Amino acid sequence: MRKENWLKKARLGLSIFGKRCMVIRVLTSLFLLPLLTACGNTRTVYVTAPVAPISADLTADTQIPGMVVPFTWQASLELNTQLYTALGQCNLDKAAIRKIEEARKIN
């Protein structure tokens, strides 16, 4: 008989302890929930980043070499070298512009 009373008291104590734990859980969740929702009222605003302009050196017109009036074979060779130099400068400018555009895509 005593053994049964001891078990009943133990079960009663555990059930009271369980109820207290449940009450504590409910109260903490009730008091913490407003704190969490108060911080959740944020607004996302998207701002466009300013685009850095490409330098004027890269976008400036390439000087076209002029032809000399007595157009000889030597003048033709000199004109070809000047044209190749101008073409090379155009290619360097385009490569620099591509590099700037790639840097913009990464950022």
Q: For 58-104, what is each residue's pLDDT tens digit? A: 888 888 888 888 889 999 999 999 999 999 999 999 999 999 888 88
pLDDT at position 28, please? 75
Calculate mean pLDDT across residues 22-39: 71
Which amino acid, one-letter code, is at 104?
R
> How confident is residue 11, by pLDDT bands cut at 50, 70 and 90?
low
In this prediction the pTM is 0.49
Q: Is pLDDT above 90 for 21? A: no
